[in-house]
């Protein structure tokens, strides 16, 4: 029983954490052979034969690939045998302009232009209308049950028997929680909501249904797998043969999946991903924060989603103060102000000057940045560069109604200490 970690083992934790986060952040290229082997193993785990594997660039591409398979206009006898014969065990595909008129006509041009290239001719030509019966029902519940029982529960039992509670909790907080927050919460959940909105906004009524992605077999698994990967590396025997192939599948370049009885649609990792700081939320002020090879891209500021038009008006500073304060979504408004600076909130109808110090620093009360909430902003000039800055200060500081108290807070000292510093500079 491991009741205490060595220094070497403690030093390994951030390495394992960063390796698993890096599987997303470094945007690795997918390994086709590894994906095929992993998906075939996964279907074997739930007692199904190897499926047709369609590999697409993005989650939105996955949604459109499903609709291609379900709605192709050409009819061909023994379609499933034709698909297997013509494309083998897998199809390497992007989704876009040449997917067939029946789907193309139902989807707005702008979305297809964003998603980009076409499904390979072999898929388009071989998959006919009768494939509707061949895709099969979703098996994500079966995958959830089998992976839960055969992989996750098994490795948990092994770790529980070999590692003390305090060590497990310590590693959980340092590895699982950190990886999970950085990958699942800050990326996958946000992207999933945007894909769902894109499908609803851009896909016609005949193909409007959004397909749910996998419970298991995506980047949100990185957190718990990283935890057991760490324990395996320090010598804990995981008494299951399923952890190695499961880990291999997750490290093959898979972002997410759509899992059906006869077809598995695999969505690849993004081609670009930007954060403001390591393990932080998605953020980029020069373009999309996350982008896939097929052109699907999403704009984020401090983890908050923006449509391109509003995003560019913020980062290019063409938006006015009235534009920013008029943003109805509070999260977007606050994220925009974090990028633009608090001075955008200092318009006469929304702010009142409370105090001006002898050095010229000004403290303002700012209203309606968030409805029914008062904020405080400090305007000050850098003595060395003479550049003017505006920043928000905490309510308890602003409520002093003293700009010197606010400046002292920025220096991390008392007002008396701050004034003494200013006196000697």
End-to-end CA distance of the chain: 60
Q: How many CB atoms lie within 10 A of CB 317?
A: 11
Query: 215: Cβ–Cβ under 8 A, 6 or more apart, which residues?
Result: 140, 141, 143, 144, 147
Categorize the per-residue pLDDT at 136 as very low, low, confident or very high, splitting at 50, 70 and 90. low
The pLDDT score that the predictor gives to residue 71 is 65
Give residue 120's pLDDT. 41
Dump pLDDT digits (tens) for 165-174: 888 888 888 8
The closest alpha carbon to 411, from 398, 395, 423, 422, belongs to 422
> Is the pLDDT at 95 greater than 90, yes or no?
no
What's the pLDDT band for 283 if we cut at 50, 70, 90? Answer: very high
Phi and psi of 394, rounded to 5°? Answer: -60, 155
| pTM of the predicted model as reported, rounded to 2 decimal places | 0.76
pLDDT-wise least confident of 243-257, 329-343, 372-386 = 372-386
What integer is the mean pLDDT of 375-394?
A: 84
CA 195 to CA 63: how far, in whole Å? 9
Q: Which two tokens stand for residue 351?
A: 């702010």
Q: Over the chain, what is the mean pLDDT?
A: 80
Please write the tens of the pLDDT for every residue from 23-76: 999 999 999 999 999 999 999 998 999 988 889 888 888 888 887 777 653 333
Query: Exposure string (b/e) for 14-34, b if CB count within 10 Å is 16 or more?
Result: eebbbbbbebbbebeebebee
Tokens (6 digits) for 55: 């590999």
3-state secondary structure of 186: helix
- Residue 325, CA atoms < 13 Å, CB-side half-sphere: 18
Residue 197 has pLDDT above 90, yes or no: no
Outline where 26-147 has alpha helix (H).
Answer: 32-45, 59-71, 79-87, 101-104, 109-115, 121-126, 132-135, 140-147
């Amino acid at each position: 029983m491991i009741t205490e970690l060595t220094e070497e083992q403690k030093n390994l934790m951030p390495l394992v954490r960063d390796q698993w986060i890096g599987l997303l952040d470094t945007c690795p290229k997918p390994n086709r052979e590894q994906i095929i082997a992993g998906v075939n193993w996964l279907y074997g785990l739930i007692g199904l034969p190897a499926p047709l594997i369609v590999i697409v660039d993005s989650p939105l591409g996955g949604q459109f690939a499903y609709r291609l398979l379900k709605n192709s206009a050409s009819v061909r006898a023994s379609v499933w045998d034709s698909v297997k014969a013509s494309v083998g065990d897998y199809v390497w595909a992007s989704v876009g302009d040449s997917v067939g008129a029946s789907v193309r006509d139902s989807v707005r041009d702008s979305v297809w232009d964003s998603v980009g290239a076409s499904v390979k001719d072999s898929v388009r030509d071989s998959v006919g209308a009768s494939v509707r019966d061949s895709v099969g029902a979703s098996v994500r519940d079966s995958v959830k049950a089998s992976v839960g029982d055969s992989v996750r529960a098994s490795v948990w039992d092994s770790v529980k028997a070999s590692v003390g509670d305090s060590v497990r909790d310590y590693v959980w907080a340092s590895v699982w929680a950190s990886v999970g927050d950085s990958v699942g919460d800050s990326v996958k959940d946000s992207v999933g909501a945007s894909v769902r909105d894109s499908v609803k906004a851009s896909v016609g009524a005949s193909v409007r249904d959004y397909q749910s992605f996998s419970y298991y077999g995506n980047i949100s698994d990185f957190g718990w797998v990283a935890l057991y990967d760490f324990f395996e590396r320090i010598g804990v025997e995981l008494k299951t043969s399923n952890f190695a192939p499961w880990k291999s599948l997750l490290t093959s370049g898979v972002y997410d999946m759509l899992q059906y009885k006869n077809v598995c649609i695999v969505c690849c990792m993004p081609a670009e991903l930007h954060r403001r700081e390591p393990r932080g939320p998605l953020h980029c002020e020069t373009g999309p924060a996350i982008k896939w090879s097929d052109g699907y891209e999403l704009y984020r500021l401090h983890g908050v989603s923006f449509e391109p038009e509003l995003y560019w008006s913020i980062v290019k500073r063409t938006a006015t103060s009235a534009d920013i304060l008029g943003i109805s979504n509070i999260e977007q408004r606050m994220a925009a102000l974090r990028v633009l600076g608090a001075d955008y909130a200092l318009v006469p109808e929304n702010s009142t000057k409370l105090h001006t110090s002898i050095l010229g620093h000004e403290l303002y009360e700012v209203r309606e940045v968030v409805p029914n909430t008062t904020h405080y902003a400090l305007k000050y000039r850098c003595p060395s560069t003479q550049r003017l800055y505006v920043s928000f200060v905490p309510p308890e500081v602003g409520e002093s109604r003293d700009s010197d108290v606010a400046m002292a807070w920025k220096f991390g000292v008392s007002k008396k200490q701050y004034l003494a510093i200013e006196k000697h500079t």
